[in-house]
């Protein structure tokens, strides 16, 4: 089911996975602020963080033009989001421009990467209370289903000091393509075969 709602029953409650609407932006921004590297508490930092800060207008474009903002909703609360979009969307940020320029130097699944056969996924953010549950793989799976109609390959990057995020993505079997350095930070570029169902997903 594309563009709809997937509801997972969880005992007496349920979790909805769906594409974000414009009215969801404030809830996504609250989650972003809590877990962004510039504002995250020292207590939460070891459990993972997001590194790119997005504005309301950038979220609006992601929703309206890319259909690329997937969310997990527990009751009325947005407890997770995953971003995904064409390389064109990401091109205003220097780090992504660097990655776009480096795509021809990367091979994955026997294919030389470009802006037509791949897209950029992430960041993904899940409320601390729901980590180490099915929410992360389910949110990834919902996003994968939406984007698999357009692209055969997912590409993302993870800061090498973000161990929690690295372990979570290894668990769902993303592959490390190569390490790279940008702005004195060490990253991994990772890939995923979009024809594969997400390991650990229950939706």
Residue spans per domain, the chain: 6-193
E-strand ranges in the chain read: 6-10, 13-19, 69-74, 77-85, 107-108, 111-112, 118-126, 153-159, 175-182, 185-193
Domain 6-193 has CATH 3.40.50.11260: no
The pLDDT, as a whole number, for residue 46 is 61
Flag residues of the chain having pLDDT under 70: 1-3, 7-13, 37-41, 43-49, 51
Query: Do residues 190 and 174 make contact, with C-beta atoms less than 8 angstroms apart?
Result: yes
83: its two tokens: 């971003």
Percent of the chain with pLDDT over 90: 71
- pLDDT one-digit tens code per residue, 20-51: 999 999 999 999 888 776 666 676 666 666 76
CA angle, 115 as apex, 155 and 57 as ends, to 5°?
80
* pLDDT at position 40: 67
Q: What is the pLDDT of residue 52?
A: 74
Query: Nearest CA to 20 among 10, 9, 31, 11?
Result: 31
């Amino acid at each position: 089911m594309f563009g709809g709602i997937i509801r997972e029953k969880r005992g007496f409650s349920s979790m909805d996975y769906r594409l974000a609407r414009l009215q969801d932006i404030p809830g996504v921004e609250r989650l972003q602020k809590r877990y962004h590297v510039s504002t995250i508490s020292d207590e939460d930092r070891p459990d993972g963080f997001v590194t790119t800060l997005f504005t309301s207008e950038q979220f609006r474009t992601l929703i309206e033009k890319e259909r690329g903002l997937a969310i997990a909703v527990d009751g009325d609360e947005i407890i997770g989001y995953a971003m995904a979009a064409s390389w064109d969307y990401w091109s205003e940020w220097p780090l992504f421009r660097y990655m776009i320029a480096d795509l021809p130097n990367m091979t994955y699944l026997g294919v030389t990467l470009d802006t037509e056969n791949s897209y950029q996924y992430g960041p993904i953010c899940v409320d601390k209370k729901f980590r180490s549950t099915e929410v992360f793989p389910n949110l990834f799976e919902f996003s994968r289903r939406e984007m698999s109609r357009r692209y055969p390959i997912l590409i993302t990057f993870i800061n090498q000091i973000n161990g929690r995020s690295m372990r979570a993505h290894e668990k769902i079997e993303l592959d490390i393509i190569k390490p790279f350095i940008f702005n004195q930070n060490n990253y991994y570029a990772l890939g995923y075969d979009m024809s594969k169902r997400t390991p650990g997903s229950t939706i």
